[in-house]
Chain A
Amino acid sequence: MIRTLPRQRGYTTAFRIYIILFYLFLFAPLVITCILAFNDSNFPSLPWKGFTLDWFLADGPQRIGLLHDSSNMRSIWVSVQTALWVSILSVVVGTMAAFLFEQEQFPGKQGLYFLALTPLVIPGVILGISLLLTANSLGIFFEDTLGLDIPFLRPSFWLVVFGQFSFIATFVLLVVSARLKKFDHSLEEAALNLGATRFEVIRFITLPFLRPALIGSGAVAFLMSFENFNTTLFLVGSETTLPVNLYLQVRDGSTPIINAVSFLLIVSTSTLAVINLIMTKHETSA
């Protein structure tokens, strides 16, 4: 049954086969996508026609590689900017929320905490449409009463940033709270007794303690934003993010350029994820 108990041979073998099949299932789509990014064929399918870097580097006229595909390159850049803003905002507000719920006492705290958790269990599509409706109504209101046209309230870059931030902040809140729970409050008390102000305590004692949680949740917030589709779909304006742009291409038929983008995404996100994992391991063991 478990490693310390005597085991039956059939059980162990069957279990091992299942695990191997599971990992095959897990990696098959990604491995195939990567391999076909280098296939010298105009369609992302077999047979294998030889190795090529065309889908990354080619500059027309028959084939256009990713580096010369301005629509995809632009959407990558939009996604990077969005993800940067979202992770900065989420880490700042999420950390403040963690401080609020872990260290402060005020009436209605339980209710507010519950409210702060809900964004993670609201379907992303709903977050997207409700924000779209509100921004639109506000825009109409400002235009009718004040004659102001506020571009930010139409589907746009900033609307996407706020839509993603609305639920990613909850994620940061959970991660930072978990770390803050382990914090030894006698350290703070000692600093306060020695004459530090509350903000000096936060700056020099609490924040350094939270550093791994801040970096880790910031990295995950970046990835969550970078790959978000559901909320973004309804809020996106003329500056499409990478997932939305890819979706439009996949829907209208596929070219190996999508494989090339996917290959870069797979390589860069797994590198980032592994770095993040090693760093958190290192920090917790140290």
Chain B
Amino acid sequence: MKNHLRLGLFIFLTPVLLWLLLLIIVPHIELLIMSLHGKNDTGDMVWTLANYRHFFTEEIYWYTFVRTALYAIIVTILTFLVTFPVAFYITKVVSPRLTGFLTILLLMPFWVSELVRVYGWMILLRESGVINHLLVSTGLLKVPVEMLYNDISMLMGLVYTSMLFMVVPLISSLESMDDSLIEAAHDLGASPTTIFLRIIIPYAAPGITSGAIVVFMLALGNYLTPKLMGGKNSLWFTEQIYNEFIASFNWNQGAAFGFLLLALSSILIWSGLKISRQHLGKALS
């Protein structure tokens, strides 16, 4: 019996260790090592902090970095504000017969590739786009306006592409909430605001945290949406990484940027978990 168990452990452990070691641990160590290397004056590869120094001395780099972080936080908050009423409506307000249908309808667009969804917004919003055509032909506008390629369209695109990851945990945490909690509070004379702030929000807190973590991470690491919907000035940090890797072919600098982005996302996710007193395992499942 004991031997069987040991053999089982070995068989399950090997592929998992290979996966985590070869595809996660080693590559990230390599990322760190590469970021600490650079060419010296004679063109040899040496250990150096130059890549990180470069990041802090070139204004454009850390400016993009801070901007990306702030915008990712804004996207997370906006996504919560937009989807919470929907999750609440589906689980608590609409008649239970419609709940299933509305949920399926809600999830469907998110199975479609992000690229297709962004493309859809592009043909809606751009100067020759559908919305402009409708506004001009109904006489509401004299000439078409460019609605794409600015910060607002980019934020909207990011909220749109990440809504699913907020709404699903919200629905599942609200679904498990007993309606009688709200009824009791109502009978005891609580106002809707009090019920919302003191009962519903605390109850949904785990769902909010897991949604916020995933949305934040996805927004921070997004490349497509800022690239295609943002303007020339709305550079995203992932675009900097891409530029270093593909355009300038300066992999060491790119590795340093990548490591900084990884550090930023890990720190913010970790503090999110700490503040809400949750574990990663719980937040993800």
In the bound complex, residues from chain A placing their C-beta under 8 Å from that of B108 are: 270, 273-274
B109 touches A27 (CB 8 A): yes
**Within 8 Å of chain A (Cβ to Cβ): is B76?**
no
Output the least CB separation between B25 and chain A (Å).
8
A120 touches B284 (CB 8 A): yes
B119 touches A133 (CB 8 A): no
- Within A100-150, which residues are at the interface with B (CB < 8 Å)? 100, 103-104, 106, 112-127, 129-134, 136-137
Contact (A174, B261) CB under 8 Å given A5-B182, A30-B112, A129-B31: no
B269 closest partner in A (C-beta): A121
In the bound complex, residues from chain A placing their C-beta under 8 Å from that of B89 are: 15, 18-19
Q: How many residues of chain B get a CB closer than 8 Å to chain A's CBs?
A: 91
A interface vs B, CB < 8 Å? Answer: 1-5, 12, 15, 18-19, 22-23, 25-30, 32-33, 36, 43-47, 92-93, 96-97, 99-100, 103-104, 106, 112-127, 129-134, 136-137, 162-163, 165-166, 169, 174, 177-178, 197-198, 223, 226-227, 229-230, 233-234, 242-243, 246-247, 250-251, 254, 258-259, 262, 265-266, 269-270, 272-274, 277
B284 touches A33 (CB 8 A): no
**Within 8 Å of chain A (Cβ to Cβ): is B28?**
yes
A165 touches B23 (CB 8 A): yes
Partner of B241, one of A12, A125, A174, A229: A125
Contact (A129, B120) CB under 8 Å given A25-B160, A30-B112: no
Provide the bound-state CA to CA distance between A36 and B129, in Å.
Answer: 11
Partner of B85, one of A18, A100, A230, A272: A18
Provide the bound-state CA to CA distance between A100 and B160, in Å.
Answer: 37
The interface residues of chain B, by DSSP majority, are classed as helix
A-B contact pairs, 18 of them (CB 8 A): A1-B195, A22-B86, A30-B109, A32-B123, A36-B130, A121-B265, A121-B280, A126-B31, A126-B261, A127-B27, A133-B30, A133-B34, A198-B4, A223-B111, A229-B114, A243-B115, A269-B111, A270-B108
Output the least CB separation between A151 and chain B (Å).
18
Partner of A137, one of B8, B30, B130, B182: B30
B92 touches A112 (CB 8 A): no
Provide the bound-state CA to CA distance between A102 and B238, in Å.
Answer: 36
Contact (A114, B85) CB under 8 Å given A1-B186, A15-B93: no
**Within 8 Å of chain A (Cβ to Cβ): is B13?**
yes
In the bound complex, residues from chain B placing their C-beta under 8 Å from that of A258 are: 119
